[in-house]
A = this chain, B = another copy of it.
Amino acid sequence: MRPKTKFEQLFVVTHLFRWTLLVIPIALVAGSLVALFLWLLDWSVRFRFAHDWLLFLLPVAGVVIYGLYRYLGKNAEAGNNLIMDEIHEPGGGVPARMAPLVLVTTVMTHLFGGSAGREGTAVQIGGSVAQFFARLFRLTPGDVRIVLTTGIAAGFGAVFGTPVAGAVFALEVLTLGRIRFDALLPCLMASVLADVTCRAWGIHHTAYHIGTAFHFDFFLLVKVIGSGVAFGLAGFAFAETCHTIKNAGKKWIRPAWAIPVAGGLLIIGLTYLLGTEDYLSLGVMGKYAHSVTIPSCFLAGGATPWSWLWKLLFTAITLGTGFKGGEVTPLFFIGAALGNTLATLCGAPVDLMAGLGFIAVFAGATNTPIACTLMGVELFGADNVLYYAIVCFTAYYFSGHSGIYHSQRVGVSKV
């Protein structure tokens, strides 16, 4: 039963030494590409702020993205799900073209005003770089699985500047209800090194701040649990809306290139209907001082009561009709905005509830409560770690078994 050998520590040393050597080039390249990506993203959002008319080209951008994937993409369209499938059952591998394709198309999505995130892109960059080196070093299928997992960790750790959460996320996201400690340390090394590399290129991550000091209070605990339920349901609603829009588009709209056109037009229409650009692009920077952004959600009055729902709709339309980008930053936005609304409704500290929503909607939609608890610690500090765990675990229970990644397997059912 126990694979115990004498001097097994010597094998550990060889094992870790080998993996350190393998992980270094992956992390350096992935971290650098993520830095380039974040820089381009920042540029594209600022450029759109200065050129309003870019939004009208969103449908055209959609057609171009569709064409790029149709004629150059091979199987890269499957994105994160392809990487997860390759880890579960190694097949044809992740194509090297995935990294440049997703980088260019995500920047296009943001430049023309689509509402999307970053993590999907970063994870795909990491996975594609990892696969490239796996081919170069002629690794065995078993090692390719590990190397792809380190690629996810590298991408995630670098894009959010949260290396511990990145390493745990890579292991936790693969199977619902289970963490297997395959490559625990190689994942952490990849994520730390990619994060350091990304910062070395001058990338700064947005700092979020929960000023409310921890106090154990029965009423606050009840509010936290209740909002955990709401955050979980919001994660569920997001995943379902994305799936529904994707299926509806495929079913009702022909030819296929018209799907992103319809998506683009919907986004333009909604923007003018609401009279605000706050729900376009990433949502981390605002065009105006009073714009609703993720940081503004941490302040009283920083979001409207329905901001969370609008961001959910804008993002589900953008991603469901074929634009590119991640889901996670919009999930942060949805969560922080919903937290802001709930704080006002139930009389709880706004910054605390926004921070809890930020991590919990994400925990629910991706079924990664432990990575998200650790992310809370890395972003907001240790003070309220008990509430992070409570809200993430609760959201995990209430987000259903679907989640945003259909290649995530169900290891342990939630009830």
Q: Are A167 and B412 in contact (CB under 8 A)?
A: no
In the assembled complex, which residues on chain B have CB atoms less than 8 Å from the CB atom of A398? Answer: 9, 12
Q: What is the CB-to-nearest-CB distance from A186 to chain B, in angstroms, rounded to a whole number?
A: 10
Query: Which B residue sits closest to A394, measured CB to CB?
Result: B185
In the assembled complex, which residues on chain B have CB atoms less than 8 Å from the CB atom of A216? Answer: 196
Q: Using a CB-CB cutoff of 8 Å, which residues 357-410 of chain A contact chain B? A: 369-370, 373-374, 377-378, 380-383, 385-386, 389-390, 393-394, 396-398, 400-402, 409-410
Q: Are A411 and B180 in contact (CB under 8 A)?
A: yes
Q: Are B400 and A164 in contact (CB under 8 A)?
A: no
Q: Are B412 and A182 in contact (CB under 8 A)?
A: yes
Q: Are A192 and B378 in contact (CB under 8 A)?
A: no
| In the assembled complex, A300 has its CB within 8 A of some CB on chain B | no
| In the assembled complex, A141 has its CB within 8 A of some CB on chain B | no
Contacts A9-B233, A402-B2, A410-B1; A373 near B164 (Cβ below 8 A): yes
Contacts A192-B386, A233-B9; A184 near B377 (Cβ below 8 A): no
Query: CA separation between A373 and B15, bound complex, in Å?
Result: 23
Contacts A8-B401, A378-B385; A177 near B180 (Cβ below 8 A): yes
Query: Which B residue sits closest to A382, measured CB to CB?
Result: B382
Q: What is the CB-to-nearest-CB distance from A366 to chain B, in angstroms, rounded to a whole number?
A: 13
Q: What is the CB-to-nearest-CB distance from A214 to chain B, in angstroms, rounded to a whole number?
A: 11
Chain A: interface size category: 35 or more
Copies of this chain held together in the complex: 2
In the assembled complex, which residues on chain B have CB atoms less than 8 Å from the CB atom of A378? Answer: 382, 385-386
In the assembled complex, which residues on chain B have CB atoms less than 8 Å from the CB atom of A380? Answer: 382
| In the assembled complex, A57 has its CB within 8 A of some CB on chain B | no
| In the assembled complex, A3 has its CB within 8 A of some CB on chain B | yes
Query: Which B residue sits closest to A6, measured CB to CB?
Result: B400
Q: Are B382 and A184 in contact (CB under 8 A)?
A: no
Some 24 contacts from A to B, beta carbons below 8 A apart, are: A1-B409, A1-B410, A2-B401, A3-B401, A9-B236, A9-B398, A12-B398, A12-B414, A12-B415, A16-B397, A164-B386, A167-B389, A177-B180, A178-B180, A179-B370, A181-B369, A181-B414, A188-B390, A196-B216, A374-B374, A377-B382, A377-B385, A382-B382, A382-B383
**Out of B4, B9, B185, B385, which one reaches A374, CB within 8 Å?**
B385
Q: What is the CB-to-nearest-CB distance from A331 to chain B, in angstroms, rounded to a whole number?
A: 18
| In the assembled complex, A140 has its CB within 8 A of some CB on chain B | no
In the assembled complex, which residues on chain B have CB atoms less than 8 Å from the CB atom of A295? Answer: none
Sample of 4 more A-B contacts, CB < 8 Å, known A2-B410, A374-B374, A380-B382: A1-B409, A164-B373, A185-B396, A381-B382
Q: Are B401 and A4 in contact (CB under 8 A)?
A: yes
